[in-house]
Amino acid sequence: MESVGAAGGVGHVSSLHRWPVKSMAGEPVESVRIDRRGVAGDRAHALFDEHKGKPRRLTARQAPRMLHWSATYEGEVGADAVPLPLLRAPDGRSFRWDDPRLATALQADFERVLVLRRDLELMADRPDSILVTTEATFDAVSAALGRALDLRRFRTNIHVRLDAPAYAEEGWAGRRLRVGEAELELLDPCKRCVIPTRDPDTTEKDAEILRWLARERNLLFGINARAPSPAQIAVGDRVELI
């Protein structure tokens, strides 16, 4: 694994992504509200089944067909004013989160009993966090694998383009990233699970992605961050590592 230093620089927000229901397809957005919990509305909803007699938060690891479902919000999304998401099934049917038909449709598709939960404290794997990824690292991984990857595989929140080399974010823990009016605390590089191996459209598995990340980058891609104060950020906002 190539070593990285604390290199950094300036740039801008290339794209923003929000995932209303954990492990389902989400939505690109032009701006988001953030606070210490993360991106407003991000993973505010999840499906639970039962595993070994205990509730388990269901993900695409157990049910890859979750990726065929998408979830979006209509209207403004505030930190404590998160609308109910609209879910679209693979066959094109749409259900609002409170539609009594939704649980039946999900259970039929995933062939398991499910409980739908909503929690505005958010339900990311890493509590109180935001995932930041860089264009340089994304391009470098794609080049190393010899094919264009889809950024949605990595379920990022804030994707930035800045004058730092690929993998530089692996050395940023403990620093801060200024994004527009926000100042994010950079926590630790994100260690990836199997989710990036699934094509976000077909769910076809590409195990080589995870094998390469394990072999070359110790499974790291992106960096977890936290927003100590509420802020609004938008695509195009200036980014600076400080």
Q: Pick the last residue of a domain from 65, 95, 118.
A: 118
Provide the number of structural domains found in the chain: 2
Q: Pick the last residue of a domain from 66, 91, 118.
A: 118
pLDDT greater than 80 at residue 8: no
Closest C-alpha to 67, from 157, 223, 191, 194: 194
At 171-212, the pLDDT tens digits run 999 999 999 999 999 999 999 999 999 999 999 999 999 999
pLDDT band at 5 (very low <50, low <70, confident <90, very high): very low
Asked whether residue 152 falls in the same domain as residue 233, the answer is: yes
Asked whether residue 66 falls in the same domain as residue 147, the answer is: no
Does residue 28 belong to any structural domain of this protein? no
pLDDT greater than 50 at residue 170: yes
Lowest-pLDDT range of 2-11, 136-145, 192-201: 2-11
pTM of the model: 0.95
Strand 130-134 versus strand 158-162 pairing type: parallel
> Which residue segment(s) compose the domain that 197 sits in?
10-17+126-241
User: What is the rounded average pLDDT of the residues 48-61?
Assistant: 94
Asked whether residue 106 falls in the same domain as residue 158, the answer is: no
205 secondary structure, DSSP code: B
Structure-block tokens of residue 13: 């927000």
Closest C-alpha to 43, from 73, 15, 64, 63: 73
CATH value at residue 198: 2.40.33.20
Q: What is the pLDDT of residue 2?
A: 47
Does residue 185 belong to any structural domain of this protein? yes
Q: CA angle, corner 129, sides to 34 and 117, nearest 5?
A: 85
User: What is the rounded average pLDDT of the residues 16-25?
Assistant: 98
